[in-house]
Structure 1
């Protein structure tokens, strides 16, 4: 009887092992299939055949002459030209007294040694344009490079884009509180867009580069510095490739790349060095985000070097939801406060799901992996708790976490669930694991604070039984 029971038990163990093996194989195949499906939807635009030099329209790279009229003329000419323009900017410093507004079918090519240096006078970025500010649609100062409802556009080359915002826009954060409160009010009270005008007399900083309701976009190679606010804001746009960019953007809130309500995005081979989040995936804020119901989705971040405040962030403006995000084969260029950071609160709602973190390494951090449902809550007396689930981590490392290795802070009304950690290594950490309001958390091959070797044998030094 004992032998029969043992055989039955063995059969169950073998069946369970085979099932788990099969399930793991199927999951890996499904994950890879989703990854490849997303990649197949992302195709950079082709470069227009007709090439023109910006100097043809009166630009001069002496750092003094206002070259905005030249860029405006080139864009107007491209609009009339069949197939658009490949606009080449040769070496030199081109002072631009106001924004560059893109049209469709344009490639702006900054040659090595070329620099676009924007005016630091806020009045030059008026009249206001339709945009978004921290998840709320408003009219505001124009982003310095702005494309609205355009397609097949590129910014490429080895040149530099200098927002030159350090002495004006870069100092505005201390003055923005009243305007920020107003954006929250119009969001929560469904105020008509016509009554959401900011601009002159207000202190909402514009983005450096923004493409809004646009598609088929390539940003490649250029160096970005001194942004007035977020560096690259991809708003309600799709089919976007960001590749080989370089940053030294350390002003306040100089996020590197912020996709919002956007999809089918490839972010690869980028050297970040930002005064805020390297990549922050967003999807609208609170009431307005939930009503818009356009998730940010199908986003691949791979082969990047992180440096700045946080590596990859999901939120906090994400009320339309975030899904199908891959972070693969990334490393560090320097310190990050947090490596992977999910941040939301009970005002946001929406969801974060189907997130895949594979083979990502950091140096020293405060926290390696952090999920919180209680980030910077604004009391609206509403409870729209975000559903956070189906997160798969396989290969995540750091040398030291001065605060914590793995943190999950769910919310009692909507517990964070189905989070999977595999092959995680934190060499040193003050706190290894802190999970609250979390369930169905799976950990496999996780080491925090070092790896324990073989147990020691009993010796005379072990005074377990002392003689009395």
Structure 2
């Protein structure tokens, strides 16, 4: 149950995604006030101060099951009186019944194959129940979660993917935007046969290791199906992934497809290096987290170190994606840290549409880009209403230079993947012509030693529309390149190039 009492002086909104409410925790998110200069936020529970933070999220933990909590947040700013959010009332979930996989025969020695034992615990799990992975290394093939359950990995628990392809049945799933035959992922949802699942949680301090270096090589060599992911959740309403570390996937690490009400909170994702900095061999297409034709998505307080895009927002490819017609929309990404890979991307598979995305208060260190907005000819549909704001970026890494895949720290690119192209050559406009519009980059500082600082290039027949940059300080090897834009606004933008000219604009107004 959740009700709201709105004060007359309300200037910012507090919410708790329903998926992110458990028997003993409640995740909170709130908007920044209209005026900045925030010194701190104070979280109050039942009129008592519970926490102080500088972030716009907080997770209350150690709560009582089936207990009612009234919560609000105060914002303290340097020059004004504190501002109060709305008050929300939340009742925590009941205490879950526990199903320990060890009771079903699982052995955490890193050698015994535990697929059957783990699946038996999941199948036996009662509605609202909790399947626990205790301390130990539990080798397993593909497992399948169901509605109204929690998979909990205790401290010291590792769910380790089997290196044998025979432990991952072939199934039909979306892969790079198209329906393909794929190997099952390590953690999957059950086949819904046209229906939908609901209320699935994966949580705890443990780790999910898909053993991708070994498994990807075998999956590719057999040519029977496309590689799977570490986690693939499909056709589910209310998904919560909290606290776990997910690593070494054969393909995209965490793939969320056709889901509504998704919260990812405090998760570590490692697809290029492990937590100690050791390189995973042979990992390609190692995206961190991909919401794919999903709505109402909250990603916060996460650390993502990816081999490819850190977060990639997708919705299908070309005619098939347009026919399915399910956009990814209403996405908030906040208070996240990115330490390898390519930042937060929209596309390139976006044929169902992408809209209403906020990326806020994120740090990017030795990542090649903050923003990758990409939609090439053939995709069709629209990317619109995208905001990146209050982000910092530093990259002193020379490992990656500009290529046809990545052309700047902030880039919007409708020639993504083209090595040789003429940005001023026009083609007929039709249903395959994508549209990119209403993009805001605000309050961003970036400094990189390789590649363009900013690259914005649309199509002659479909120029980028309404692109606005405010309070941007950018330094790159090269400066700011812009082509084919209708409605470019620069407000307090400073760009410095270590080599060549700072700005080069063609067909921009």
TM-score band w.r.t. shorter chain: 0.7 to 0.9
Q: CA deviation at 1:318?
A: 0.3
Distance 2:179 2:13 in 1: 33
Distance 1:400 1:118 in 2: 37
Q: CA deviation at 1:172?
A: 5.9
Structure 1 counterpart of 2:467: 419
Instruction: Tell me, yes or no, if structure 1 residue 248 matches structure 2 residue 248.
Output: no
Instruction: Tell me, yes or no, if structure 1 residue 124 matches structure 2 residue 146.
Output: no
Distance 1:351 1:99 in 2: 35
Structure 2 counterpart of 1:364: 395
1:180-329 to 2 correspondence within 5 Å?
201-250=223-272, 251-329=283-361
Which residue of 476, 491, 494 maps to 1:429? 476
CA 1:324–1:347 in structure 2 vs 1: closer, same or farther (change >3 Å)? same
Structure 2 counterpart of 1:373: 414
Instruction: Tell me, yes or no, if structure 1 residue 135 matches structure 2 residue 167.
Output: no
Structure 1 counterpart of 2:436: 388
CA 1:41–1:89 in structure 2 vs 1: closer, same or farther (change >3 Å)? closer
Q: CA deviation at 1:431?
A: 2.6
Instruction: Tell me, yes or no, if structure 1 residue 151 matches structure 2 residue 198.
Output: yes
Q: CA RMSD in A?
A: 2.4
Q: CA deviation at 1:382?
A: 8.8
Distance 1:255 1:399 in 2: 23
SS, match of residue 108 in structure 1: strand
SS, match of residue 370 in structure 2: strand
Contact 1:42 1:266 in 2 (8 A): no
| Larger Rg belongs to | 1
Instruction: Tell me, yes or no, if structure 1 residue 449 matches structure 2 residue 496.
Output: yes
Distance 1:335 1:203 in 2: 34
1:8-47 to 2 correspondence within 5 Å?
43-44=19-20, 46-47=22-23
Q: CA deviation at 1:129?
A: 2.1
Bigger relative contact order, structure 1 or 2 (CA pairs below 8 A, ≥6 apart): 1
Structure 1 counterpart of 2:45: none
Distance 2:133 2:359 in 1: 34
CA 1:159–1:40 in structure 2 vs 1: closer, same or farther (change >3 Å)? closer
Instruction: Tell me, yes or no, if structure 1 residue 346 matches structure 2 residue 377.
Output: yes
Distance 1:159 1:376 in 2: 37
Distance 1:43 1:302 in 2: 17
Q: CA deviation at 1:40?
A: 6.2
SS, match of residue 213 in structure 2: coil
CA 1:247–1:389 in structure 2 vs 1: closer, same or farther (change >3 Å)? same
Contact 1:42 1:240 in 2 (8 A): no
- Between Structure 1 and Structure 2, the one with more strand by share is 2
CA 1:143–1:172 in structure 2 vs 1: closer, same or farther (change >3 Å)? closer
Which residue of 100, 111, 124 maps to 2:143? 100
Distance 2:13 2:121 in 1: 38
Paired residues, what number? 385
Instruction: Tell me, yes or no, if structure 1 residue 59 matches structure 2 residue 106.
Output: yes
Q: CA deviation at 1:247?
A: 2.4
Q: CA deviation at 1:407?
A: 1.2
Structure 2 counterpart of 1:453: none
Contact 2:330 2:355 in 1 (8 A): yes
Distance 1:261 1:136 in 2: 12
Structure 2 counterpart of 1:19: none
Which residue of 452, 466, 473 maps to 1:404? 452
1:387-445 Cα deviation digits (max 9, x unpaired): 1111111111112252212211100110001011001111x323321110112100111
Contact 1:417 1:439 in 2 (8 A): yes
